Amino acid sequence: MKKYLETGQIVNVHGIAGEFKVKPWSNGPEYLTQFKSFYLLPDGGERIDCRRVRVHKGMVLIKAAGIDTPEAAQRLRGRVLYIDRDDARLDDGEYFIQDLLGLLVYDADSGDCLGRLVDISQTGANDVWHIERGGKTYLVPAIDDVVLNIDLGENRAVIRPLKGIFDDED
């Protein structure tokens, strides 16, 4: 598993004091307020120490040490932000999307491999898993009644798909 995880992208400058606006790619903008540091490189390089992290209109505003002008903040525009996995707190049963991608997905009843998890859409109500099998992608709601078990160590997930999602159902 990666130590540094993509968490959002710097999309704009906010105000005149060097704050910048981040579009979050995580559980929501509030999640990012727990972090004191972010990184601009996937290996943990170019650390940004935060003076303040706050939510504003669904986006995250960050005031970072050493970035005190709109021009300095503008130079960061378009960059991806990373978090250190060790700094993150997840509740039981929560996972980073990046850790789930690539899992083999099995049917709870038949034991058959249904395919590989290739993408996850965050719809608001619930996540939707994109499971690829035989060149086709199936959309499966990631709800408690469907997703029964996730085992990152074994690189597998067990689901009980809703009727009609996969072609081979009766």
Q: What is the pLDDT along the chain (170 residues), one digit of tens a residue?
A: 789 999 999 999 999 999 999 999 876 789 899 999 999 999 999 999 999 999 999 899 999 999 999 999 999 999 999 999 999 888 888 888 889 999 999 999 999 999 999 999 887 788 899 999 999 999 999 999 999 999 999 999 999 999 888 865 44
Q: What pLDDT, on the 0 to 100 scale, is given for residue 15?
A: 94
pTM of the model: 0.76
How far, in Å, CA of 74 to CA of 18, rounded?
Answer: 8
Structural domain spans, the chain: 4-87, 97-159
Closest CA to 87 of 19, 40, 152, 33: 33
Question: What's the residue count for the chain?
Answer: 170
pLDDT digits (tens, 9 = 90+) for 74-107: 999 999 999 999 998 888 888 888 899 999 999 9
4-87 CATH fold: Elongation Factor Tu (Ef-tu); domain 3 (2.40.30)
Same-fold call for 4-87 versus 97-159: no
Answer positive or negative: Cα dihedral of 90, 102, 78, 57: negative
Tell me the DSSP string of 6-48: EEEEEEEEETTTTEEEEEE-SS-GGGGGG-SEEESSTTS-SEE
CATH 3.40.630.30 fits 97-159, yes or no: no
